[in-house]
Amino acid sequence: MCSGNCAEQEESLASARTINLVLWVCTIIQTSVLVTISVYYIYKRKKSERQTGETGEINSLTESSIMMNSAQTPSPVEEATA
């Protein structure tokens, strides 16, 4: 069956199997990490969408009305100089 160098071929085969196993483990770890990161960002985005649903619109309206009122109201320095 072997032509004189059986030990070398078996060693090479064992090395190839080890490399194959290591690559499979790395692939599984990489896939798990990518799925975990994707799920985390999807969850984070959904959570922020829920928090900024109606209250986000109210907050932005409140902020814009505060900015408009502060633009119309003169500051104490302007009142003193006027």
Alpha-carbon 78 to chain mean position: 48
**Tens digits of residue pLDDT in 29-75:** 999 999 999 999 999 988 887 777 655 554 555 555 566 655 555 55
Q: Strand, coil or helix: what is 52? A: coil
Other C-beta atoms lying within 10 Å of the C-beta of residue 31:
10
Q: Which sign, positive or negative, has the C-alpha torsion 17, 21, 27, 31?
A: positive
**Tens digits of residue pLDDT in 5-17:** 787 888 889 999 9
Quote the CA–CA distance of 46 and 37 in Å, as a whole number: 14
